[in-house]
């Protein structure tokens, strides 16, 4: 019971903090924001890694490998693409208008 | 205790990263900060536990990283929504696999009921996120039909699948033999996957931003549930943060279309709510657009219209004489691959001493903020970009509104008439500008199905046809 309350509290606190922080993000950055939070949700990679610890049996290793590959794809791909996207934003010009 | 400190530290770095999302430059640092936080978390897990089957782990990890990077480095900005949806799906896969192993693999150790319940929920949400995201990604990438697919008795099917999920979760919870739990969980996987598919196939077109934001939230939720199942606070923190972000974006998107979440998800396409455009009006609308399409690439033979000058010369005249211009890009611009041309034209106009702004509607594009990224790819100066509420008061004092591939977001019917599907939706007030030039493919109604009275306004010049060609021609003739 105590466990449940603790985890609910952690969830609620993180949700509230996230809500406050993210409602201030300007619309211009919504796509990079989603792509970054998408990468963050791949934190399940920790769960996938933990499947390999202790006495991992074949089933755990097989499914763990699939989970790990999916999570690593999401995690690294998400951060890389966000970085690339944000690198495209530029303000006032180095580029000379009209050739 | 040590674990708690580590989790807290990583969470704080993460919060620091997200709080930098105010400007593009800050966001870039913020993104790297968040990546660093997660890298630390991974490193700590690896350092603390002895790992079995290291080679398998390394190969799996490397395969994920390599494909992730390869795709991330190659996609164009128009493909970002499809890519992000696909990644949501991968997050879902990881969540349901971890939950599944937790459920099935460790039954001998007797899972606490809390872990079991959240593993079951994590399995469900993760699976539905996965299958729903695959459908969304397929639609966005144009691999499957983008229009909503409505099955016979769609709601009944969805309800039946939901009940199936609940019953299977109960069965898995009550079973005590590992083999039974495994079989029931596998069935649950199939049913939840079907649920995700049925749920997302009937959402399409301009409603995609809502779906993709919602899947963002459920991917976060799945991670958090997974965290409860394996008792990892960090998973809960990250999952909850992502769920919050996805919820906010879902809300922003719904508000920008003046529609409720249930309305979007029940597959009530705006067009079904009130059929403004009867088949007759549509048929009439198609005919002139065809003519213009065929004629537009032939500048040598200007369209001779009895009562007026040819629209192209009028447009050139309007652009030349305008002192202030607001460009309204829509998803049609991206479909015509006209971002570059639009931005170059904007720069040319600015260099001629005109004031030039881009006005962006929150739902322009296929995901929240998509239009900004599309323009950024075309190297726009983001100092020229304005949001709806900032730019709307300026239209009345503006000489020229240039619409590129946008329809519903500039449809004055949203404020002028009652009872249409888009009534009450916030729009860009392009119709208040001195002159309006519309560079759309045709003059048919947009996704909402509501005829756009802006097209028939006397101050409007319609340049129908491929926006890229039209704009390139405008650009050339301006010299």
Q: Measuring CA to CA, how many Å separate B89 from each of A35, B73, B128, B239?
A: 13, 19, 9, 15
Instruction: Pick the range with the lowest mean pLDDT from A60-69, B199-208, B281-290.
Output: B281-290
Contact A32 B27 (CB under 8 A): yes
Per DSSP, the three-state class of B401 is strand
- The C-alpha atoms of residue B476 and residue B78 are separated, in whole angstroms, by 26
Report which of B185, B183, B134, B128 is spatially closest to residue B158, judged by C-alpha positions. Answer: B128
- Options B176, B381, B390, B408, the catalytic residue: B408
Contact A83 B31 (CB under 8 A): yes
- Decide if B331 contacts B461 (C-beta within 8 A): no
Q: What are phi and psi of B422, to 5 degrees?
A: -105, 5
Which DSSP symbol is given to B241? H
**Chain A residue closest to B24 (CA)?**
A86
User: For residue B102, is pLDDT > 50?
Assistant: yes
B410: left (phi over 0), alpha (psi -120 to 50) or beta: alpha
Contacts of B471 (CB under 8 A, 6+ apart): B338, B341, B342, B345, B404, B439
Taking contacts as CB-CB distances below 8 angstroms, the residues of chain A near B220 are 37, 41
Query: Using 50, 70 and 90 to split pLDDT, how confident is the model at B179?
Result: confident
Contact B90 A71 (CB under 8 A): yes
The pLDDT value recorded for residue B1 is 57
Residues 114-133, chain B, touching A (beta carbon < 8 A) = 114
Q: What is the mean pLDDT of residues B9-13?
A: 94
Contacts of B136 (CB under 8 A, 6+ apart): B85, B88, B200, B203, B208, B211, B212, B215
Contact A30 B72 (CB under 8 A): no
Instruction: Pick the range with the lowest mean pLDDT from A2-11, A30-39, B65-74, B354-363.
Output: A2-11
| pLDDT, tens only, A74-88 | 999 999 999 999 999
Mean residue pLDDT across chain B: 87
Alpha-carbon distance A2 to nearest alpha carbon in chain B (angstroms): 11
Q: What is the mean pLDDT of residues B32-46?
A: 94
The pLDDT value recorded for residue B341 is 96
Mutation to test the A interface, candidates B48, B85, B101, B380, most A Cβ within 10 Å: B101
Which DSSP symbol is given to B51? B
Residues 84-113, chain B, touching A (beta carbon < 8 A) = 84, 87-88, 90-91, 93-95, 97-98, 100-102, 104-105, 112
Contacts of B26 (CB under 8 A, 6+ apart): B20
The pLDDT value recorded for residue B169 is 92
Q: Which residue has the higher pLDDT, B206 or B306?
A: B206
The pLDDT value recorded for residue B142 is 85
pTM of the model: 0.88
Q: How many CB atoms lie within 10 A of CB B120?
A: 26
ipTM value of the model?
0.91
Q: How many residues does chain A have?
A: 99
- Decide if A85 contacts A31 (C-beta within 8 A): yes
Q: What is the mean pLDDT of residues B350-367?
A: 94
Is B408 labeled as catalytic in the residue annotation? yes
- In B233-386, which residue ranges form alpha helices assigned H by DSSP? 233-257, 261-265, 270-273, 279-295, 311-321, 331-335, 339-351, 370-377
- Of B32-41, B50-59, B303-312, which one has max mean pLDDT? B32-41
Per DSSP, the three-state class of B204 is coil
User: For residue B280, is pLDDT > 70?
Assistant: no
């Amino acid at each position: 019971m105590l466990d449940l309350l603790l985890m609910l509290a952690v969830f609620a606190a993180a949700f509230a903090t996230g809500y406050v922080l993210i409602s201030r993000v300007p619309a211009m950055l919504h796509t990079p924001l989603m792509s970054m939070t998408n990468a963050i949700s791949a934190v399940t990679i920790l769960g996938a890694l933990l499947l390999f610890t202790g006495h991992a049996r074949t089933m755990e290793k097989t499914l763990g490998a699939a989970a790990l590959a999916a999570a690593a794809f999401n995690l690294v791909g998400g951060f890389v693409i966000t970085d690339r996207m944000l690198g495209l934003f530029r303000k006032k010009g180095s580029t000379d208008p009209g050739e | 205790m040590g674990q708690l400190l580590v989790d807290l530290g990583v969470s704080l770095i993460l919060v620091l990263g997200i709080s930098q999302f105010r400007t593009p430059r800050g966001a870039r640092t913020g993104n790297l900060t968040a990546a660093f936080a997660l890298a630390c978390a991974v490193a700590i897990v690896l350092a603390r536990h002895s790992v079995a089957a290291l080679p398998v782990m390394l190969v799996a990890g490397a395969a994920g990283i390599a494909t992730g990077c390869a795709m991330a480095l190659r996609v164009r900005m128009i493909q970002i929504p499809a890519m992000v949806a696909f990644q949501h799906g991968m997050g879902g896969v990881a969540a349901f696999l971890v939950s599944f192993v937790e459920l099935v693999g460790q039954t001998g150790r007797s899972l606490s009921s809390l872990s079991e319940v959240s593993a079951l929920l994590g399995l469900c949400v993760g699976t539905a996120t996965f299958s729903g995201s695959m459908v969304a990604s397929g639609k966005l990438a144009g691999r499957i039909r983008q229009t909503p697919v409505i099955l016979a008795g769609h709601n009944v099917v969805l309800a039946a699948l939901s009940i199936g999920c609940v019953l299977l979760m109960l069965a898995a919870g009550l079973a005590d033999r590992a083999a039974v739990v495994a079989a029931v969980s596998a069935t649950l996987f199939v049913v939840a996957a079907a649920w995700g598919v049925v749920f997302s196939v009937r959402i399409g077109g301009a409603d995609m931003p809502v779906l993709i934001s919602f899947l963002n939230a459920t991917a976060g939720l799945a991670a958090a549930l997974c965290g409860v199942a394996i008792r990892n606070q960090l998973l809960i923190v990250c999952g909850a943060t992502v769920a919050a972000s996805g919820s906010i974006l879902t809300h922003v998107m719904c508000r920008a279309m003046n529609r409720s979440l249930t309305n979007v998800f029940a597959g009530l396409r705006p067009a079904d709510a009130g059929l403004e455009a009867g088949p007759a009006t549509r048929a009439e609308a198609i005919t002139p657009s065809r003519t213009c399409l065929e004629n537009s690439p032939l500048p040598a033979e200007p369209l001779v219209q009895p009562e007026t000058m040819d629209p192209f010369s009028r447009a050139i005249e309007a652009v030349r004489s305008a002192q202030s211009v607001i460009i309204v890009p829509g998803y049609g611009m991206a479909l015509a691959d006209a971002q570059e041309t639009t931005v170059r034209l904007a720069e040319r106009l600015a260099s001629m001493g005109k004031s030039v702004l881009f006005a962006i509607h929150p739902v322009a594009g296929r995901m929240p903020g998509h239009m900004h990224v599309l323009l950024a790819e075309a190297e726009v100066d983001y100092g020229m970009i304005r949001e709806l509420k900032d730019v709307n008061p300026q239209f009345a004092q503006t000489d020229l509104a240039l619409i590129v591939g946008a329809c519903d977001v500039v449809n004055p019917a949203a404020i002028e008439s009652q009872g249409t599907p888009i009534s009450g939706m916030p729009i860009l007030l392009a119709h208040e500008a001195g002159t309006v030039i519309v560079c759309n493919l045709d003059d048919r109604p947009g996704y909402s199905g509501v005829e756009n009275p802006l097209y028939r306004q006397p101050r409007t010049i319609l340049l129908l046809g491929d926006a890229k060609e039209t704009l390139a021609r405008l650009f050339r003739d301006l010299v």
